[in-house]
Structure 1
Amino acid sequence: MKKFFVLLCTTALLLGCQPAPKVSEFAVHYEQPRTLKPFTLEDQHGAPVTTEQLKGQWSLLFLGYTHCPDICPMTLAKLTNIAEQLKPYQNVSVWFVAVDPQRDTQEKRKQYIDYFNPDFVAASAPHNVLFPFVRDIGLIYAINNSDQPEYYVDHSASIALVNPQAQLAAIFKPEFKAGEVPVINESQLIEDFKVIVPGQ
Structure 2
Amino acid sequence: MKLIFPLFLMFVLLSGCQPAPQVSEFAVHYEQPRTLKPFALEDQNGAQITAEQLKGRWSLLFLGYTHCPDICPMTLAKLTNIAAQLESHQAVNVWFVAVDPQRDTQAKRKQYIDYFNPDFVAASAPHNVLFPFVRDIGLIYAINNSDQPEYYVDHSASIALVNPQAQLEAIFKPEFKAGEVPVINEAQLINDFKIIVPGQ
- TM-score between both structures, scaled by the size of structure 1: 0.94
Distance 1:21 1:9, change over 3 A: farther
Q: Secondary structure at the match of 1:194?
A: helix
Separation in 2, partners of 1:151, 1:190: 33
> Displacement, 1:10?
5.0
Separation in 2, partners of 1:26, 1:146: 32
Give the fraction of aligned pairs with identical amino acids, expressed as a percent.
Answer: 88
Distance 1:64 1:8, change over 3 A: farther
Separation in 2, partners of 1:63, 1:9: 49
Q: Which residue of 1 aligns with 2:99?
A: 99
Q: Which residue of 2 aligns with 1:73?
A: 73
> Displacement, 1:31?
1.4
Q: Which runs of 5+ in 2 are unaligned?
A: 1-7
Q: Secondary structure at the match of 1:96?
A: strand
Q: Which residue of 1 aligns with 2:3?
A: none
Distance 1:65 1:8, change over 3 A: farther
Q: How many corresponding residue pairs? A: 193
Q: Which runs of 5+ in 1 are unaligned?
A: 1-6
> Displacement, 1:9?
9.7
| Equivalent residues in 2 for 1:15-94, closer than 5 Å | 16-94=16-94
Paired residue type of 2:64? G
Q: Determine if contact 1:41/1:124 at 8 Å carries over to the other structure.
A: yes
Question: Which 4+ residue blocks in structure 1 deviate beyond 4 angstroms?
Answer: 7-13
> Displacement, 1:114?
0.1
Q: Determine if contact 1:143/1:152 at 8 Å carries over to the other structure.
A: yes
Q: Which residue of 1 aligns with 2:167?
A: 167
Separation in 1, partners of 2:155, 2:64: 7
Separation in 1, partners of 2:165, 2:179: 39
Paired residue type of 2:129? V
Q: Determine if contact 1:175/1:185 at 8 Å carries over to the other structure.
A: yes
Paired residue type of 1:149? P
Q: Secondary structure at the match of 1:97?
A: strand
Q: Determine if contact 1:62/1:96 at 8 Å carries over to the other structure.
A: yes
Q: Secondary structure at the match of 1:85?
A: helix
Distance 1:166 1:100, change over 3 A: same
Paired residue type of 2:115? Y
Paired residue type of 1:46? G
Q: Determine if contact 1:44/1:106 at 8 Å carries over to the other structure.
A: yes
Q: Which residue of 2 aligns with 1:127?
A: 127
